[in-house]
Amino acid sequence: MKFKILFSGIILTGALTAPLAVFAQQEPEEIALANSEFEDNFYEALKQKGIENYDKAVQALQKCLIKDANNPVIYHELGKNFLALRNMPEAENAFLKATQLDPKNRWYWQGLYDVYYENKDYNKSIEVVQKLMEWQKEYYQEDLVSLYMYTKQHDKALALINEMEETVGVSEKRKMYKAQILNTGKYAKPQKDQLEEAIRKNPKEESNYLDLIYLYSESNQEAKAEEVAKRLEKEIPGSDWAQVGLFKFHINKNEGDKASESMFRILQSPKIDQKIKHRVLNEFLIYASNNPKYTANLDKALTYFEDDKNVNAVKEVGKFYFNKKKFTEAANYFAKSLIGTPDDIEAIELLLYSYAESAQNDILLQKASEYIDSYPTHARLYYYAGLGANRQKQFAKAKDWLTDGLDFVVEDPELEAALNKQLGEAYGGLGDTKKKETYLAKADKLAKTIKR
């Protein structure tokens, strides 16, 4: 039985997205409109758009234009419907007309931006984004950087990135863009030469070594990056930052002991950012999963994240093994994560699933029944208790758990089918063939519904 389990985590997005925030300016469709026939057609258009009948919405809006041919609200709505229909030329014309009639309304420009971006017309997008920056400069600057990168206007992108680093700080995306720029064309060699010269003049300045290591790594010149990291370690023996570069080299060379030593130096350092520490842990996790003799070092590394309020590192390690279908290891880490966060129902379900998949049936039954005491209306816990009991041939106990569990199922045919199937197994174990067939038939019927 396969279950849908939601995982927390980083969600990766595209470089540009249409903003979802509601700003101070009023949305045009909220403006009150006079004239009964006009209003009827306008609100009919909104209704049809709401149920995705975009063609009918367009027809209703065109009737509105007969009454008022210069109403920017109507053109804005037409643009949105044409965009939904993927009729880009008409969408562009409609939004353009709206901006001409009322150039001070941000929503009209946003609609035009949506059209150009969807159409991958990034040069026109740049013009509109520059206009939109009148309302939300900092927000649209991020889009502008990406648009400059898409159109290979690297000079403008780099200038804007440098400006934003001064005004709003550094972001991971802009750091990535900057590295791409500095490693291509006219920027690549001079930048590296400048850093080498800076190191020669001031060999005790850590940041120059780090920037140079980053540039070499980004351009896949690992040998040169390692050489710089070793120079840093030699010049500044106590440098924790040198270990960041050396750690990766040791991992790549399969030097597990040296990688472990560098990792612990990094995790102990108050100078190194938590995000970098998480990245190092993730890389070591991958290494340890392929080299199990370093599992003890992984467990020791996790102790450095016990006070992290943002990420449950032990649980994330459990998910890593879970996704690799290494359920024994996954169960171990989910159990550890629940020591610190005993009310994490997602971790509880993942733990029980892992016990079931790794056939740890005795502890599956024990833990599921314990969690039922804490969450008496959580139907999936009853399923795991019944499953564990069935596998241990405790059929009467399984029947009771599973029957109770059915009472708490709410709009989850997959779980309901699983409970019925296990009930059939329980009654089969008890020798009641008639009820066994009844419940298995219910499970089969529900399963067919799910497939449709």
Using one digit for the tens of pLDDT, what is the confidence trace for 219-249?
767 678 778 888 888 888 778 878 887 888 8
Q: Which residues does 99 contact at the CB level (< 8 Å), separation at least 6? A: 72, 105, 108, 109, 112
* Dihedral sign from CA coordinates of 428, 434, 435, 436: positive
Domains 35-135 and 360-452 share a fold: yes
CA-atom Rg of the chain in angstroms: 30
Cβ proximity of 284 and 301 under 8 Å: yes
Other C-beta atoms closer than 10 Å to the C-beta of 226 total: 20
Select from 222, 227, 229 the least CA-distant residue to 244.
Answer: 229
Q: What's the mean pLDDT in 114-134?
A: 90
Q: CB-side exposure of 311: number of CA atoms within 13 Å?
A: 19
The H or E element spanning position 283 is helix 274-290
* Dihedral sign from CA coordinates of 320, 325, 326, 328: positive
Gap between the Cα atoms of 57 and 80, Å rounded: 10
- When pLDDT is cut at 50, 70 and 90, the band that residue 159 belongs to is confident
Select from 187, 143, 183, 141 the least CA-distant residue to 164.
Answer: 141
Predicted pLDDT at 245: 78
Q: Which CATH architecture is the domain 360-452 placed in? A: Alpha Horseshoe (1.25)
* Dihedral sign from CA coordinates of 85, 87, 93, 99: positive
176-191 pLDDT, tens digit per residue, is: 888 778 767 666 666 7
Q: DSSP class of residue 10?
A: P
Q: Which residues does 308 contact at the CB level (< 8 Å), separation at least 6? A: 274
Q: Which of 112-121, 219-228, 250-259 has the lowest average pLDDT?
A: 219-228
Q: What homologous superfamily is domain 35-135 in, according to CATH? A: Tetratricopeptide repeat domain (1.25.40.10)
Which pair of tokens denotes residue 278?
A: 């998480």
Task: Give residue limits of the domains in the chain.
Answer: 35-135, 360-452
Other C-beta atoms closer than 10 Å to the C-beta of 13 total: 8
* Dihedral sign from CA coordinates of 366, 371, 373, 376: negative
Gap between the Cα atoms of 276 and 175, Å rounded: 14
